[in-house]
Amino acid sequence: MKLALVILVFVFGAAFAAPLLTSYPSSGNTHESMEERLLLRHMPPSSVYWFGTDELGRDVWTRTLYGARISLGIGILARLVAVLVGTILGAAAGFYGGRIDFILSRIIEIALAFPSMILAIAIGVALGPGLTTVVIAIVAVSWVDVAVLIRAVSVSVARRDFVLAARSLGDSNLRILFRQIIPNCLSTILVSFSFGIASAVMIEASLSFLGVGASAGSPDLPTWGWMIYTAEYHLAAAPWAAFGPAIVLALTVLAWNLLGDALRDRFDVKGDVC
């Protein structure tokens, strides 16, 4: 867990302190005019340009820092929404049972029938590139794993004595759901949230790499996936333009997964939440 926290603190700290760590704007433009920037295209890493420059003479270090804000922001926001939706639906299915469980279980099965990445790409193409589209796509493909986990846990929680006691005291089912069932699923929710951020960040990067992400409509809006995509065509001349964001992306995903593993062991959460 310590390694995960160190990596995440470094990445988040660098993202928030980006204006202090670079003298260039969020676009990474090293000069105002395109002509001046093109003179600096494909500069290798140095004490001036830590990650080098890209095909347009933009500072890759700067774009990686500001890209962290977008990539992590999208991942965390989308996962929060997915966890909220999946928790409510999964807890309702496990607690109420019967027809509600049958209907929600069939919805979950239908959602699981679609390959998540293909569904995310289809949503991106249908709605067009943009921040909102990416969030919707991530939520649409990631709420299901939360719902499956929470449903299994809520079935067990619903049989415990304190729930039966709440029923005998006349508490409504809705009150029991939000006051007894969901709070007792918090450890599972927390572990799922941690693992899910890694997945959400990867989906955002994949959509950007495929040209249907947040940066496709605004090329000066840096995200890690978009930076790797644009650098792909210049790997022979400037491989560093892709290596910088790719390494930071890999370390961030690794850190969230390590944190999820540590939390799963800490809370003794059963089952595969990946």
pLDDT by residue, tens only, the chain of 274 residues: 788 899 999 999 999 998 899 888 888 888 888 888 888 888 899 888 899 888 888 899 999 999 898 889 999 999 999 999 999 999 998 888 888 888 888 888 888 888 888 889 999 888 888 888 899 999 999 999 899 989 888 888 888 888 888 888 888 888 888 888 888 888 888 888 988 899 999 999 888 888 887 766 565 678 888 888 888 888 888 888 888 899 999 999 999 999 888 888 887 665 444 3
Q: Look at residue 161 in the predicted model and tell me its pLDDT.
A: 84
Domain ranges, residue 72: 2-13+58-155+181-267
Identify any residues that bridge with 29 across adjacent strands, giving them in sequence order.
58
Q: Are 65 and 51 in contact (CB under 8 A)?
A: no
User: Quick check: is 139 in a domain?
Assistant: yes
Identify any residues that bridge with 53 across adjacent strands, giving them in sequence order.
59
CA distance 96 to 100: 7
Q: Look at residue 273 in the predicted model and tell me its pLDDT.
A: 40
CA distance 28 to 222: 9
User: Quick check: is 45 in a domain?
Assistant: no
The values of phi and psi at residue 29, to 5°, are: -65, 125
Q: List the structure tokens of 77.
A: 């926001």
User: Quick check: is 88 in a domain?
Assistant: yes
Identify any residues that bridge with 59 across adjacent strands, giving them in sequence order.
53
CA distance 216 to 230: 10
User: Quick check: is 272 in a domain?
Assistant: no
User: Quick check: is 259 in a domain?
Assistant: yes
Q: Look at residue 38 in the predicted model and tell me its pLDDT.
A: 85
Q: Are 260 and 191 in contact (CB under 8 A)?
A: yes
Q: Look at residue 61 in the predicted model and tell me its pLDDT.
A: 92
The amino acid at residue 216 is A
**3-state SS string for 192-218:** HHHHHHHHHHHHHHHHHHCCCCCCCCC
Other Cβ atoms less than 10 A from the Cβ of 21: the count is 14
CA distance 89 to 95: 10
Alpha-carbon torsion, ordered 24, 25, 30, 36, to 10 deg: -150
Q: SS3 of 53, please?
A: strand
The amino acid at residue 92 is A
Other Cβ atoms less than 10 A from the Cβ of 113: the count is 8
Helix, strand, coil percentages (3-state) for the chain, rounded to 5, are: 75, 0, 25
Q: Look at residue 274 in the predicted model and tell me its pLDDT.
A: 34
Q: List the structure tokens of 160.
A: 């415990």
User: Quick check: is 161 in a domain?
Assistant: no
User: Quick check: is 30 in a domain?
Assistant: no
Count up the domains in the chain and report the number: 1
Domain CATH number, residue 79: 1.10.3720.10
pTM for this prediction: 0.85
> Distance between the two ends of the chain, CA-based, in angstroms?
17
User: Quick check: is 151 in a domain?
Assistant: yes
